[in-house]
Structure 1
């Protein structure tokens, strides 16, 4: 903060030792993305420690900031230095390691240091800060390692964590694995040596399971759970337990990736391919990249685990950067359910309609067998709702709203009965639909949702209990016993003893998305559901309704996620897509984008792809403003370089953004480094 009135300067004297504070100020201007020096007055000397929140004056405004360090002298002339106005709280909210990590990540993503610190530090809750400080929890006992010994190299990784030696591994969990318990064992191994552990999972359901597993193994005092869903006070209370060293083990969603774990001996991410691991806020970092960087900075072990494997994790393995922990083929054959694809040659010979039927005969057979044995059946449907997509019944053109051109859907009421068609964007009802292409007034379903599927299955299996999970009504678990559990991907409840069968419907809806990761994402969702099914030796069966000739379907049938990830990575390498290259996506208006490209000084190896028109980001709701997308068409440019020149590319984009900021260009050009889907 720009200090007090110069005429009152004599009323304050600087601190005798290290009188200069370097402050990261809350400034949105990219050309001001650096620390600023302030004089520390003697009365704030004790509280103005590195890592505290402060208030400063900048350009006539009072702004928030984080005090990065105290130094003896500044390069700024003494006459231009101004006073640090106030220490908001003497509570240190980050240390030198976190400052280095956030600075590194800001450079990695062409973002500002303050934006990364804001992701790392939750909003202050003064009342919670004043609560009594508890004692640090004792170190837990070393956990048993028999379960990890089942995996080749699994026991060696556990011993490395237990011995404080940094190790990096990509873990493919075997079918039916109690993965929360395995992560808890690794965390306990790190905590037993006096070091910390950080486990990051995609959503609150996984958080609940892993948190319970850690608390059961180590005791609740050792573990802190962090999630944006906790609420301000509870989240800050848990965060302070970690910052003050009271809790050694942290379990959380992406909000916990930058938690202030002291001396971490292990950082782990579960299901790194889940889109929930990508931050939706500038500068859009990914948890996997945060944790890999953190492992390097802290010298800790790193684990990337899932039932399937992302292309990024496969690159870690193929490059030798990380070792593979995976079950043998013999172990997979014993633990996995039987997987069939509706539509293979054998099934077509017995059931010619299997290729076009939504629920072919083989799926009915699997469901009947499981229900008759007293086991529940999991039915995975790609879309929630009743009929979430409609088209003209005559010409098959997508049905659109007359007001905002949004897609029409057929919702269901609270009692499950279908309601008139309505727009999924603005919510307006559309009782008088007329196709703009052919004039027809008839509608047909193009996608059937989970609620309609549950209704159909209830008629197909009279007397069977039907449960739904998805949207705002997600079930954590269901009791054992015969039942049909219809869910959307990611909302699969856990059942004691596993499901008797799983039906994976409408595979085309997942595989046909216009997305670079469509096949990878479909396979990830299928494996997540199939891993909940009993082994084939106990009658477990999975039926996927999709073309059996497609590589994701073949990978599921063979239970070979690494094989599919290797194929995907080879295709990315051939086509020049991340992670085999570094890429920046620039989105903006045509004039602003052209100006940005003129400003850029790119590496010689850089390729410029585009510009191409893009659809506005997100769909406007009632009364929504235009935001960044207002004011005309938008375009996208992709900048691509070999991996070894990635830093040069990001630095060039950051420099061009700073130049536009210094010129006070008003139109925003959004920068996204290594976007998950550049298409």
Structure 2
């Protein structure tokens, strides 16, 4: 809806306000007239559609609306909907996007002219503009914040270099192939999998929550390339490629969103094997990567190729969910439980929800896949918004490795070796498996010794400067604070005054050191973000010990013979709503890279973890755990059974925002609870109030939870309240986040 223009340009005269006769009782007031734009003397305005409705890229929430500007005649051809423009607002030049061109404006005064058109490229398509508005409304945010995520920054040199290429027209016909999309497709292993692909090829829009099978894609599904063997392509990547090919046979576009660049590489490689090569400006192609790691020039080049229809398949990380794919037919989100898919900037959208909204708005098929299953994904199935897509139990048992949980009860007969971090049974299994191929060792924490405690009384060692946890970077270094980096060479325990330290948590580097001493002559490789070699993509099928943190497990040629999942108790020891599902997801992601049980593959879960995720791993039943968790949350009124908003900030500011929200009643509000400023976690009940020690008041968190049917209304009321706060310039700070991952 067009709103009155707020202009700070001092050279624009203001029209005098004419007196208006009040309406008589019982007589409706006259509707506001839509007047042609009135501007000061100057160059003539556009003959046709002289008013541009512009969305400004400004931060204040009370400015989250469109503004009308006059379009000069010389800019008429370039100032089309979707282009970037510079306009004058509040006495300064600001960026904006033209959303529409109209004949008349509702503004009664004179309109300010557009300053200039930054680029004739219509980078904001109507579909993406509507999606951005829907995402902003869903998360109580502003259109400006979403547009910063949706449209990458302009790279002028890249845009000029691609001018001739983009003028040649869109990409040619879809990949050749018969209409039969089943055959040897990976989807034949799933119940209704073949029907899902056939529906995609026929132009349908099915919605599915997919529980992927473990293992690598067989050679008859993924033909070998010239440089790599087919045994390095994971089953899930081959299945996504098959679904993308079925969609492209119907001449529709595909959008695939994955957590990180390693997953992007796997999907792009699988698409190339399926006959959809990567796009280049010289040779063409169908697939582009859209990630921040590519750099500004490469990212903008890929964006323009998608915008003009030269590339019809996009594979990227969370920001790619807004990619302007032409005639979108399928959206895919892989591993939605991973943290990188949640945007850390306002309005904090999750790629899963963005793609679900986009599927509804554009009538595209929706595929949400993972080896596990999040409770949020299972809620889509429970509400019958999507269908469950999984293999039968017989197929799962054939494809999965054998899983054993080495708990204290299981190891009771092992003697003293059962108490070791790697018990005797795990040592024997790993030693025997190294004769046939690589062995994977998953460690929950990176580093050397990330957590230490007093050697005598076991009190956690803390930094004397900031009270952060101490850690050991390596065997010869002094203790160091994990928060401020200060060295603690002269540390002594504040409880018993002992100066010795013992390890509480062992990281991946210390684990690799211990394994190297135990398995002499066997190469040990470490994979992780902070490891010397970084995150490894793949390893050969030779006897190797691979130590990896969760999410950094490389793909082994032919699959791992054994996977040791260490410190299982650590993965389920902390407090949170998603602890069980996250632990199971990490274990399943590693176990999925192991050979099947018929090929001798084994997975050993070491430690006394929580029973629910442990049993789900042994049975390989992530849907069962998700169903149980969802039932419990429905009973306790916890998300995703309800819609939740978390308000964090100064106590008075949070209270002021909630006072204007009608849904915030004593029955729906939890809190406020004081937070520890360092960790943003709730303070213990015995914590001394900050006012008593003369420091600044700590921030608080208040949670509002409403029924799912009232979720849209809650978001609208919160957005309106924040807009009032912005217009009044109320003091303090407040962060509003809907559907946060954790509320505890």
TM-score range, shorter chain: over 0.9
Spell out the pairing of 1:336-351 with structure 2 (5 A cutoff): 336-343=400-407, 345=409, 347-351=410-414
Quote the Cα distance in structure 1 between the aligned partners of 2:652 and 2:457. Answer: 38
Q: Tell me whether 125-134 or 113-122 shows the greater mean CA deviation.
A: 125-134
Aligned-partner SS, 1:184: helix
Contact 1:225/1:250, CA 8 A, preserved across alignment: yes
Query: How far did residue 548 of structure 1 move?
Result: 6.5
CA distance 1:3–1:299, shift in 2 (3 Å): farther
Aligned-partner SS, 2:555: coil
Quote the Cα distance in structure 2 between the aligned partners of 1:398 and 1:344. Answer: 25
Contact 1:399/1:435, CA 8 A, preserved across alignment: yes
Q: 1:75 aligns with which of 106, 109, 124?
A: 106
Structure 1 partner of 2:149: 119
Structure 1 partner of 2:593: 532
Spell out the pairing of 1:553-572 with structure 2 (5 A cutoff): 553-572=614-633
CA distance 1:125–1:248, shift in 2 (3 Å): same
* Residue 161 (str. 1) matches residue 200 (str. 2): yes
Quote the Cα distance in structure 2 between the aligned partners of 1:279 and 1:656. Answer: 23
Spell out the pairing of 1:40-439 with structure 2 (5 A cutoff): 40-77=71-108, 79-131=109-161, 132-134=164-166, 135=168, 136-138=170-172, 139-142=174-177, 144-145=181-182, 146=184, 147-177=186-216, 178-217=235-274, 218-220=276-278, 221-343=285-407, 345=409, 347-353=410-416, 356-372=419-435, 374-412=436-474, 417-439=475-497
Structure 1 partner of 2:707: 642
Spell out the pairing of 1:16-31 with structure 2 (5 A cutoff): 16-31=47-62
Query: How far did residue 316 of structure 1 move?
Result: 1.5
Structure 2 partner of 1:625: none
CA distance 1:353–1:13, shift in 2 (3 Å): farther
Q: Tell me the alpha carbon deviations over residues 31-90 of structure 1, each in whole angstroms, 9 at most, x when there is no partner.
A: 11111111111111000000000111111111001111111111111x332111111111
Contact 1:2/1:56, CA 8 A, preserved across alignment: no
Aligned-partner SS, 1:267: strand
Query: How far did residue 348 of structure 1 move?
Result: 2.7
Q: Tell me the alpha carbon deviations over residues 392-431 of structure 1, each in whole angstroms, 9 at most, x when there is no partner.
A: 222222211111111110002xxxx431111111111111
Quote the Cα distance in structure 2 between the aligned partners of 1:303 and 1:348. Answer: 41
Contact 2:537/2:554, CA 8 A, preserved across alignment: yes
Structure 1 partner of 2:729: 664
Structure 2 partner of 1:545: 606
Query: How far did residue 602 of structure 1 move?
Result: 2.0
Quote the Cα distance in structure 1 between the aligned partners of 2:354 and 2:334. Answer: 14
The gaps in structure 1 that reach 5 residues or longer are 620-629
Quote the Cα distance in structure 2 between the aligned partners of 1:4 and 1:41. Answer: 19
CA distance 1:302–1:617, shift in 2 (3 Å): farther
Spell out the pairing of 1:503-514 with structure 2 (5 A cutoff): 503-514=564-575
Contact 2:658/2:664, CA 8 A, preserved across alignment: no
Contact 2:55/2:66, CA 8 A, preserved across alignment: yes
Larger-Rg structure: 2
Query: How far did residue 667 of structure 1 move?
Result: 1.7
Quote the Cα distance in structure 2 between the aligned partners of 1:153 and 1:205. Answer: 29
Contact 2:341/2:351, CA 8 A, preserved across alignment: yes
Quote the Cα distance in structure 1 between the aligned partners of 2:701 and 2:399. Answer: 46
Quote the Cα distance in structure 2 between the aligned partners of 1:524 and 1:34. Answer: 41
Aligned-partner SS, 1:75: coil
Contact 1:4/1:83, CA 8 A, preserved across alignment: no
Aligned-partner SS, 2:288: strand
Contact 2:570/2:609, CA 8 A, preserved across alignment: no
The gaps in structure 2 that reach 5 residues or longer are 1-6, 14-38, 217-234, 279-284, 681-694
Quote the Cα distance in structure 1 between the aligned partners of 2:610 and 2:104. Answer: 68
TM-score, length basis structure 2:
0.87
Number of aligned positions between the proteins: 662
Q: Tell me the alpha carbon deviations over residues 95-151 of structure 1, each in whole angstroms, 9 at most, x when there is no partner.
A: 111111110110000111011111110000001111232543331124742321221
CA distance 1:108–1:338, shift in 2 (3 Å): same
Contact 1:190/1:265, CA 8 A, preserved across alignment: yes
Structure 1 partner of 2:3: none
Quote the Cα distance in structure 2 between the aligned partners of 1:554 and 1:565. Answer: 13
Aligned-partner SS, 2:547: strand
Quote the Cα distance in structure 1 between the aligned partners of 2:506 and 2:722. Answer: 45
Aligned-partner SS, 1:661: helix
TM-score, length basis structure 1:
0.95
CA distance 1:189–1:213, shift in 2 (3 Å): same
Q: Tell me the alpha carbon deviations over residues 161-190 of structure 1, each in whole angstroms, 9 at most, x when there is no partner.
A: 111111000111112151111111111221
Quote the Cα distance in structure 2 between the aligned partners of 1:436 and 1:393. Answer: 12
Quote the Cα distance in structure 1 between the aligned partners of 2:490 and 2:407. Answer: 39
Q: Tell me the alpha carbon deviations over residues 181-204 of structure 1, each in whole angstroms, 9 at most, x when there is no partner.
A: 111111122122221000011001
Query: How far did residue 224 of structure 1 move?
Result: 0.6
Quote the Cα distance in structure 2 between the aligned partners of 1:353 and 1:13. Answer: 91
Query: How far did residue 350 of structure 1 move?
Result: 2.7
Contact 2:473/2:479, CA 8 A, preserved across alignment: yes
Query: How far did residue 494 of structure 1 move?
Result: 0.3
Structure 1 partner of 2:12: 6
Structure 2 partner of 1:622: none
Query: How far did residue 536 of structure 1 move?
Result: 1.0
Contact 2:87/2:94, CA 8 A, preserved across alignment: yes
Query: How far did residue 515 of structure 1 move?
Result: 2.1
Query: How far did residue 672 of structure 1 move?
Result: 0.2
Contact 2:650/2:732, CA 8 A, preserved across alignment: yes
Contact 1:605/1:642, CA 8 A, preserved across alignment: no
Structure 1 partner of 2:683: none
Contact 2:560/2:593, CA 8 A, preserved across alignment: yes
Q: Tell me the alpha carbon deviations over residues 456-478 of structure 1, each in whole angstroms, 9 at most, x when there is no partner.
A: 11122122111100123110011
Aligned-partner SS, 1:9: coil
